[in-house]
Structure 1
Amino acid sequence: MAPSSDEADYAARARDHLGFSRWWLVVAAILAMAAISPYQYVWSSIEGPLAEDLGVPLPQLGVVFTLFVIVQAGSQFPVGWWRDEHGPRALTVLSALLAGGAYFLLSYATEIWHLYALYSLGAVGVGIAYTVAVNTAIKWFPDRRGLTTGLGTMAYAGGAALVVPYVRANATVAAYSDVLRTMGVGIGLCILVAAFVLRDPPASWYDRVATDGGEGEAENTASAGRNVGPRTMLRTWQFWLMYGMFVAGSGAGLMLTAKIVSFAGAMELTAVTATLSATLLPIAGGVGRVVMGGLSDRTSRRTALVASFGLTGLGLLAVVEFSRVGPTVAFLLSVVVATFFWSAQYTLFPSIVADYYGEQRSSANYALLYSGKMWGGVFGGAVTGWLVTVVGWPTTFQVGATLALVAGVAAVALRPPTVDGVGHASETAVGSED
């Protein structure tokens, strides 16, 4: 299919500024996102050997994952503000040192507090790489916002699929230290390569985007190009509704991500089933982000959010049901469905924030919304670990499913805010809807 006139114009102006195709920026973002993915998606495979080596009960390590989510999400607002003001390169180099170095040093941990400290330090590096990569797509591709954001976030989910079998095959006390060192070096080198490619558009770029508006449904672009900052965004009810949805959706999905291996074991499924579940998670998540992101460019991101959260909830309910009655294939398919649609929120939310509030301050604006992942991480880690001891695994997963379904219902109420020319926002909806 031939590119539209808007797409060709954006591509030509980007090439004039960069000296090369803007798609190379997406490639660099994909590389950085793939490199940091083990922090979230490999954790469920390495926590067992770590707990055994340190001689601590496995539930105590739930705090490590919770700290990771809190620090990774919480670091993104200062990171996003700095990036919007000063560009991405120096931050991305720092990310390489933190994310790669911390994973490498995990192999030398001898106390549980070492895990807390190192995983939190690495989380800062992950937060930097994540916000830089996601917002590179948002800033350079107003015409393909959902698709390009989906490609970057796909790598964050799908990149781990390349290493999960390797990690699972070496998930023993004797072997895991070498795995951590090897992966730490790889993480650092990949992010360094990306750092020398990534950059931001000139200020004139945003002026043109404001005039052009971009492609897609009018609902998706009604406020695009207004480029309001966090203070104005915080005065809109749309932000707070999305924040609640983000907390609920991420809580449900992070529960599944962090606990699927333990859940499978507790439900007396085979070790092969547990490994397949852990491997399918990042693959399904990666594909879901691209597919739903691309669809949202052509339809309505609100509709995409409603569908994504609703099907996440139904998928989690099916995970519980088929873990009890089988067959194994149905259980694995349910894991795929739940992850496919849950992961899409990490494509749809940054895109809708840019739709509603503009691209120029997108790093800081989306970082505020993304901070909701902190509370989702508290549920997916520590709260889930506590709930399991109180009500058991099936009921805990059903609580997660309920959170996702509530987020889907809430998404129905979303409307674009009106932001006037001097930066004040009101609750009046503008633009066409679906």
Structure 2
Amino acid sequence: MSGDADAGYDARAKEVLGFSRWWLVVAAAGMMAVVGPYQYVWSSLRSPVARHLGIEAAALSTVFTLFVVVQAGSQFPVGWWRDRHGARGLCVLAAVLAGGGYVALAYATTVWQVYLAYSLGAFGVGIVYTVAVNTALKWFPDRRGLTAGIGTMAFAAGPAALVPYVRANTGSALAGDTYVAVLRNIGILIFLVVLAGAVVIRDPPERWFRERAGTTDGDGGDAETDDDGDSSASGGPKQYTWREMLRTWQFWLLYAMFVAVSGSGLMLTEKVVDYAVYHDLAPVVATLAATLLPLSSAVGRLVLGEAADRFDPLRTMTGSFLLCGLGLFAVVYFGVQGMPAVFVAAVVVATFFWSPKYTLFPTLVADYYGAKHSSANYALLYSGKMWGGVLGGTVTGLLVSSLGWDRTFLLGGALAVVAGVAALAVRPPAATN
């Protein structure tokens, strides 16, 4: 996008909002950062929670799976509601659910209470994720990759600040009061930040979805879209509803690619420590790989999101997924060779090019299907994370038993490469439908 177009969108947004649209990005990123612990801090919480309840940690092994299912599965109904009724009420609900989930976890005394608290929190996380990503898509047609990247980066990077706090204050030798205080404090932080986001976040008016900065009708005013959101009559792109989107072959190809890449990346995320141990690499190598993985994930989303804006989302996606696959192949090679430094570097490379899918896919969905219904449309695509989680967790766990570690990781790399090649076949729906 040109600088003139950027300035045009900035000026139009300021007229509507009364302040810079970039404050929406700040609010969305803050909300994402504080709910990220549900996904990225659980590995540090599972054992302390089990000790607090006096049970084995294995009894809580399904909590994270349930979180992924609820967080991903909730996004379509949430997105559908947001596209029709706005984001503010949903954000208030998210503050109660996501903040309350951690507070409830602090006072849980039974396993079922832990599952219930984390599931309610996961629903709140799903709301925040949908609202944050699609706020970027709706308000920044000129900078979708960058702004969506900032939000998803915050989701991955924000929890890094809380991991030391959690690990230092939930040790086995600490009193139960300290454990409760840690979880309660995190819950209160989540509640306050998301509630503040609810004050700032809002959706653009109908005329915004023509997506042409400075375009006006013949009288110098803003042309309005028609009732069903199809702005093609006024020269803008068609705004697909979710039903219309499902009738395009492009969506199903994108969905298959999303599942494939999710499976390969979640396999690496979940199993990188065990894989390093399998190859007798030093414990510090496994720790370093696990520590750098979320940081690489966060940076990759931001960098390739900006690249998608400057070049092309589809070409960026093709290169990203191919390099992710090559990175996974390198993880296997250097693991087999017993080269720890390059092994860690390969993990960083694979993650750097895997994680931008959470930036590139929503950008492409908004480009192809319009921004008006982007919350519901991208939520349907994002539901592929559920199947990716099953593929990267349960299925690859079974494959490790039958094929072995190296072949399983090579298969994960192959899935990423196939997704990258498949991206070459994707075309805008208007070109073929």
Does the TM-score normalized on the shorter chain lie above 0.5?
A: yes
User: Which of 179, 182, 186 is the aligned partner of 1:183?
Assistant: 186
> What is the aligned partner in structure 2 of residue 399 from structure 1?
411
Does structure 1 conserve the Cα–Cα contact (< 8 Å) formed by 2:9 and 2:214? no
Deviation of 1:145 (Å): 1.0
The residue type equivalent to 1:256 in the other structure is L
Does structure 2 conserve the Cα–Cα contact (< 8 Å) formed by 1:62 and 1:381? no
TM-score (norm 1): 0.87
Instruction: State the alpha-carbon separation in 2 of the partners of residues 259 and 169 from structure 1.
Output: 24
Deviation of 1:234 (Å): 0.6
Q: Secondary structure at the match of 2:121?
A: helix
Matches within 5 A, 1:4-403: 4-50=3-49, 54-56=54-56, 58=58, 61-169=60-168, 172-174=171-173, 178-207=181-210, 209=212, 225-403=237-415
- Alpha-carbon spacing, 1:353–1:389, altered in 2? closer, same or farther (3 Å): same
Deviation of 1:165 (Å): 3.5
Identity %: 59
> What is the aligned partner in structure 1 of residue 221 from structure 2?
none
The number of aligned residues is 411
TM-score (norm 2): 0.87
> What is the aligned partner in structure 1 of residue 219 from structure 2?
none
Does structure 2 conserve the Cα–Cα contact (< 8 Å) formed by 1:165 and 1:279? no
> What is the aligned partner in structure 2 of residue 408 from structure 1?
420
Unaligned runs of 5+ in 1: 213-221, 419-425, 429-434
> What is the aligned partner in structure 2 of residue 432 from structure 1?
none
Does structure 2 conserve the Cα–Cα contact (< 8 Å) formed by 1:164 and 1:278? no
Instruction: State the alpha-carbon separation in 2 of the partners of residues 278 and 177 from structure 1.
Output: 27
Deviation of 1:200 (Å): 0.6
Does structure 2 conserve the Cα–Cα contact (< 8 Å) formed by 1:153 and 1:286? yes
Instruction: State the alpha-carbon separation in 1 of the partners of residues 364 and 236 from structure 2.
Output: 9
Deviation of 1:123 (Å): 1.2
The residue type equivalent to 2:248 in the other structure is T
Q: Deviations over 1:60-108 (max 9, x none)?
A: 6443222211111110011001111111111111111111221233334
> What is the aligned partner in structure 1 of residue 432 from structure 2?
427
Does structure 2 conserve the Cα–Cα contact (< 8 Å) formed by 1:168 and 1:275? no
Deviation of 1:6 (Å): 1.2
Q: Deviations over 1:348-379 (max 9, x none)?
A: 00000010010111101111111111101112
Deviation of 1:325 (Å): 3.2
Deviation of 1:250 (Å): 1.1
> What is the aligned partner in structure 2 of residue 431 from structure 1?
none
- Alpha-carbon spacing, 1:405–1:113, altered in 2? closer, same or farther (3 Å): farther
Higher relative contact order (CA 8 A, sep 6+): 1
Does structure 1 conserve the Cα–Cα contact (< 8 Å) formed by 2:141 and 2:211? no
Runs ≥4 residues deviating over 6 A: none
Does structure 1 conserve the Cα–Cα contact (< 8 Å) formed by 2:5 and 2:213? no
Q: Secondary structure at the match of 2:428?
A: coil
Instruction: State the alpha-carbon separation in 1 of the partners of residues 323 and 51 from structure 2.
Output: 36
Deviation of 1:198 (Å): 0.5
Deviation of 1:231 (Å): 0.8
Does structure 1 conserve the Cα–Cα contact (< 8 Å) formed by 2:12 and 2:213? no
Instruction: State the alpha-carbon separation in 1 of the partners of residues 183 and 172 from structure 2.
Output: 12
The residue type equivalent to 2:418 in the other structure is V
The residue type equivalent to 2:186 in the other structure is M
> What is the aligned partner in structure 1 of residue 222 from structure 2?
none
Say which one has the larger Rg.
2
Instruction: State the alpha-carbon separation in 1 of the partners of residues 197 and 181 from structure 2.
Output: 25
Instruction: State the alpha-carbon separation in 2 of the partners of residues 76 and 204 from structure 1.
Output: 25
Q: Secondary structure at the match of 2:200?
A: coil
Does structure 2 conserve the Cα–Cα contact (< 8 Å) formed by 1:230 and 1:365? yes
Q: Secondary structure at the match of 1:412?
A: helix
Does structure 2 conserve the Cα–Cα contact (< 8 Å) formed by 1:50 and 1:173? no
